[in-house]
Every structure is written in C-alpha cells, then in structure tokens.
Amino acid sequence: MGKIKILDTFTSNKIAAGEVIERPSSVVKELIENSIDAKASFIQVEIKDGGTTLIKVTDNGSGMDKDDALIAFNRHATSKIYDSSDLDNISTFGFRGEALSSIAAVSQIILNTSTGDQVGTQIKIMGGELDNIKEVAFAQGTSIEIRNIFYNIPARRKFIKGLSYETGLITELITKYSLGHPHIRFKVINNKNIIYDTAGKNTTKSRLKEVFGEELGSKFIYSEDEVFAGSELKAWLAPKEFSKSTRNQQLFFINGRLIKSKELSKSLEDAYHTFLPKGRFPIALLDFTLPFNELDVNIHPTKLNVKIYNLDFLVSKLTSLIKDTLNKTNLIEFNDYIYQNLNDNYASEDNNFLSMEEENIPVKAIFKEPEINYYQDDFNLKDSLLDPINIKPEKDIAKPEEQFIHFREKDKQASFTENTEVKVKDIPNLKPLAQLNDTFILAQNQEGLFIIDQHTCHERILYERFMKEDAEKTILSESLLIPITLNLTAKQEGILIKNILTLNKLGFIVEHFGTRAFVIRALPLDLKIKNIEQFFLDLIDEIGEYSKNNYNVLREKVLIMASCKGAIKAKQKLNNEEILFLLSELAKVDNPHTCPHGRPIIHHISMKHLYKTFRRGEFNLES
C-alpha cells in the first residue's frame, strides 16, 4: 500500500488555518474585510481577553440568506470570483474562500445574518462541524462570534502573548483600517468598555487626530497626484520631527487594502533621506487608487503582499511627490532641543543608526583643522618643535551647569588632580592627556597611547551600574520637575500596560492618565535624556519588537537602551573632572573593553608600534 494519501477536510482546514490565522488579530482582519466587501457603513468589533475568548464582529452590510450562510464555511466557497479569469481583475478584499473555513476549524462560531428582506439565519459551528441552524429575527447585516480561538490547538495558544498586547494589536489594526476607510464608522469594545469609536469623524484628517493625538494629527501634510491614467495617490506625511525608530507607523493602502511593501517603504524613506538621520523612519499614510488589472493580490494567504505591475514607475512618482511636498512645505523648524535630540538621542548602536564614521559632525567642522582639547594645563607649544602647526589648546571648558555627566554626591567627594592616574583592569598607570574632536579621550602610560570612545565608555558604566542596582533592588528614581504626558497608539498602550510593572522596577515611574494617555513622573537617577517623550516612545517600540515573557530578557533590553540613550555622545566637550570621572568609573566595571552592543571602548597604540612606525629601533620599556 502506498504511503501518500489525501488528507481529510478537518485536517486540511487546520493546516490552512495555520497559514491564515496566526493570532486573534488575524481573525479580526479577515472579518472586517468581509464587512467592507459587504458595503457596510458601520462595523463594530467586540473582544474579551485580547480576543482569545471572544471576537464578535457586527456590521450593517448586505448580509446573507440561509443558503449562502450554510455554504460560506466550506473551503474555497466565495461570492467574490467565479472562475480563473476573475483573478486578473479582483476588486474585493476576499476571494480565496479560505478565511471562514480556517477560522471555523480552530474555534466555536455563532453566525447571525440577514439580507433584510426575509427572516434571519443563525448557524452554530464547533471546531469546523455544523452544530445547529435555525431562523432568527435579525436586522440587515451580519454578526459573527468567534469564541475560544485555538481551543483545539493548545500548541498555538502557547504562542499568544499577553492579553493587553493582543488587545493592542487588534485595536491598532482597526485604527489603521479606519484611516483607510473614513466613510465607515468603526467601534471597538474591549471587555464591555468602548475604547475606540469614529462616530462623527468621517474624514482622514479627523481620524489622524484621533489615532495619533492632536499634537501630531493636526500637523500631517497632505498631497495628491495622478500616477497614471485611472490612478491616484494621496499622501499624508508627518513632519520629520515626529519620526520613529521603527516602520510600524508607515501605512500603505491600495484600493482600500492594507498592504506591506518593502519597495514602497524604501521609496518613502528615500524621499525623506536628507531630512532624517539614519535609522529614523517617517510616519506616513499613503493611499493608492489603481486599476484592478494593474495588481496581483493572489500571492499571499493573508493578502498582505501584492504585486504591482508598474512598480518602478509608481515608486518613482511616489518619491518625486514626497520630495516635492517636503521641499515646498514650511515644516516645523528645528529648535535646539529637537536638533540635539536627532543628533544625539537617535544614535542608537543597537539599530546601527549611525556608523562610527558618520557620527554627527557639524558641517563647519569638516572645513577646519581638528581641535584637540588638552588636559594638561601646563602644556606650552612655544617649548615644542610643533609651533608651525595650528593646534588649539582647550578653551571654554564646560561650566559646571553645562556638564553632560551626572555626578552623585558620593562622586563629587572624589578628588581629581592633573596627576591622577587610573588602573583600568590590566592597564596600569593610565593618565589622561586630551580630548580629541570632542569624541575620544586620549590617555597614556609607559606602554603607549590609549584612545577611549567617550560614548561607549559611559554607556558601559551606566549599563553595569543599572544592572547592579537592579540585582540589588536599589535602583533609584528621580522625579521629573514637570511630568511628561504621553499619548499612545492602541498597540503602544497594550505594550506599556503589559510591561509597566517591570518598567517601574527599573526606575521608570509611569501612571495611567486616561484613554491611551500616560504620565511619566520619574526616571532612573543616572538617566539624563533631553527628549524624554521621544525616548520613551522609542523604548515602547523597542519592547514591542523584542518583548519576551522572560523578565531578565526584557530588563536587559530596557537597560541597554537606557544606557545608550543616557550616555554622553560624540561631539560633546568634557572638562577635566568629567574625563577623570569616566576613567575612574571605567576602572570599576567588569568589562571595560566593549559597550553592551559589542562596540570597542579602548584602542591601544603601543610604543613598540610607534617606534616601528617612526623607525626608532626597538622599544625598551626600561630605557
């Protein structure tokens, strides 16, 4: 007997569910797309426990009669296409006929529907099997309840994250669709509480304010253009100051369909190329209307990816439109606060935002000689043979109130003199000499020259301090003089709620302040951030991207980011006390060689190497 056999319908439906239904938000996506296809003007989504125990989608669309309702849950049953030729001209969201059968295979379903001109129909399906059918009184439209998703696939339930996280994913998905379909009212109910309702907000502009908050939502820049005959591109672009550390808030719609496209995303980022630092991503809503025969939407089970036949031309038009819009629009001017934030706080090594060669050097610095800030006050160029070279000794040393490094009281008690020497692990008698280009600390001992990256050095110091204090449960918080208010997206709110206790343990005191609003009242003592709001939003995005259920993993992610953002940056002038403090603190860490991201802290140029370079013979340490 042969080994190959045809799988039964129940098993094949479960396999299909694995492709289409990844988590509760996948179910919501399929159901609201069915509602949009049914020409609904009102869609209500009710969930409980992050959608794991209940997802109920109700609409006022065209509804179904009894015969259609019965056949709808069969695999490859669809009203959207009739033969293969229709695949070249798809105008609806659904067409594969897999969603309802896949959902039914892994959940318990109650469907109520009516076309409005006859009695309604109720169907109950349990694990893919028809359980009951009867006539009911029901208004025109459809209501479908999905209960206990993955109840018969325990392994899949294990991969569902926290309930607040799943709730955030569902709410964020619906807010995205509400932006792409401003003519449809969307309402979300979570555990019997209304958390999102677009009633009275029937324009994209009003919904941008609802989703992103008044401050950002009111600043979107609108532009439109005809791509080619029968097509249109509408773009809502956020000012560059509101950029993000991830691409999560780049939305692309084609004919109302929410899609993902690496090509369109790259085109968007290319248009912003000269406006944003490397590693920052623009916030934008792009809505394309294209002829249906210019698309192939049959390349992905969830229809998130599409193939665009004239993609190169479309990308060119998109880039051109956005560049022209950004160049012509008087965007919010950078103030010193934002400029410093973009050049300093956005330089996250974890995301490789700025390479070591690209760190933020002002334009004027490119056209002048390097400036060395000498630590040794008694150094006299007149006594040296280097008099013709234009090297400027340090002046304008940072005043105490301009210091970049936070000193605790016990640190202030330390006594530093110009003859102070420091031992950093196996490097003895290290004596600071100068600061090179406000970026590197130069130090020496008998063995040669040591070049120390001030950012990675301070980052390692902060990281080990935070980790030690967390292990000893002694992390101190410093209250903010003026608390910072955060207005979050639904997904960000879910991520924060899930992790708020962990953040509190790590010194971030955050309190709930209303619908998707929170207040930051305190930060870890040694964390000095110029743009606290942007830092915290980036932190939430970072947690959302890499969050694990393991406290230690989350703690390390948070502390690494806090250390990086809180450390001094390149192009920051340090005074003598700060240089010596950094070296003294570096001597106390367990690993003085690399920062938490693995970048080197110290580079050694040995006397042997220098002697060889200048052909001075062999170097003898004792001579």
For the segment 124-173, what is each residue's pLDDT rounded down to a tens digit?
998 888 889 999 999 999 999 999 998 888 777 777 877 888 998 999 99
Q: Is the pLDDT of residue 531 over 70?
A: yes
User: pLDDT grade, residue 519 (50/70/90)?
Assistant: very high
Q: Is the pLDDT of residue 90 over 80?
A: no
Does 565 lie in the same domain as 489?
A: yes
| Alpha carbon separation from 108 to 105, 231, 431 (Å, rounded) | 8, 42, 72
CATH of the domain at 19: 3.30.565.10
pLDDT at position 371: 42
Q: Is the pLDDT of residue 88 over 80?
A: no
Please check whether residue 593 lies inside any domain of the structure: yes
Q: In what order do the strands lie in the sheet with 477-487?
A: 477-487, 517-524, 509-514
Which of 386-395, 469-478, 577-586 is predicted least confidently?
386-395
| Alpha carbon separation from 443 to 455, 458, 512, 602, 612 (Å, rounded) | 16, 16, 48, 10, 20
Nearest to 534 by CA among 487, 572, 482: 487
Q: Give the chain's end-to-end CA distance (angstroms, integer).
A: 89
User: pLDDT grade, residue 617 (50/70/90)?
Assistant: confident
% of the chain at pLDDT higher than 70: 76
Mean pLDDT calculated for residue range 220-226: 89
- Beta bridge partner(s), residue 517: 487, 514
pLDDT at position 405: 59
Mean pLDDT calculated for residue range 573-596: 88
Does 529 lie in the same domain as 490?
A: yes
Does 96 lie in the same domain as 35?
A: yes
% of the chain at pLDDT higher than 90: 27
Q: For residue 339, what are the contacts with CB-CB under 8 A and spacing of at least 6?
A: none
User: pLDDT grade, residue 189 (50/70/90)?
Assistant: very high
State which H helix or E strand residue 109 sits in. strand 108-114
Mean pLDDT calculated for residue range 571-582: 88
Q: Is the pLDDT of residue 358 over 70?
A: no
Which of 327, 362, 387 is the endpoint of a domain? Answer: 327
Does 155 lie in the same domain as 90?
A: yes
Does the pTM of the predicted model rise above 0.75?
no
Which of 295, 327, 359 is the endpoint of a domain? Answer: 327
Please check whether residue 404 lies inside any domain of the structure: no
For the segment 364-410, what is each residue's pLDDT rounded down to a tens digit?
333 333 444 444 433 333 333 333 333 334 334 333 334 455 555 44
pLDDT at position 491: 82
Which of 173-187, 329-343, 443-457 is predicted least confidently?
329-343
Give how many domains the chain has, as a whole number: 3
Higher pLDDT, 87 or 318: 318
pLDDT at position 108: 92
pLDDT at position 493: 87
Phi, psi at 317, each rounded to 5°: -65, -40
Please check whether residue 616 lies inside any domain of the structure: no
Does 266 lie in the same domain as 184?
A: no
CATH of the domain at 512: 3.30.1370.100
Please check whether residue 561 lies inside any domain of the structure: yes
Does 539 lie in the same domain as 583?
A: yes
Please check whether residue 357 lies inside any domain of the structure: no
DSSP-derived 3-state class of residue 440 = strand
Q: Is the pLDDT of residue 67 over 50?
A: yes
Mean pLDDT calculated for residue range 262-280: 84
Which of 138-152, 250-264, 419-433, 543-557 is predicted least confidently?
543-557
pLDDT at position 494: 84
DSSP-derived 3-state class of residue 122 = strand
For the segment 99-132, what is each residue's pLDDT rounded down to a tens digit?
788 888 889 999 999 998 888 999 999 888 888 9
User: pLDDT grade, residue 309 (50/70/90)?
Assistant: confident
pLDDT at position 451: 94
Q: Which domain holds residue 107?
A: 9-202
Please check whether residue 45 lies inside any domain of the structure: yes
pLDDT at position 395: 38
Q: Is the pLDDT of residue 583 over 50?
A: yes
pLDDT at position 83: 52
Does 99 lie in the same domain as 235?
A: no
Mean pLDDT calculated for residue range 548-555: 69
User: Which string of DSSP letters, residue by residue, matches 511-540?
Assistant: EEEETTEEEEEEEETT---SSHHHHHHHHH
pLDDT at position 576: 86
Please check whether residue 335 lies inside any domain of the structure: no
Does 249 lie in the same domain as 183?
A: no
Does 192 lie in the same domain as 214?
A: no
Mean pLDDT of the chain: 78
Please check whether residue 263 lies inside any domain of the structure: yes
For the segment 418-428, what is each residue's pLDDT rounded down to a tens digit?
555 677 777 88
Which of 293, 327, 361 is the endpoint of a domain? Answer: 327
Does 540 lie in the same domain as 453?
A: yes
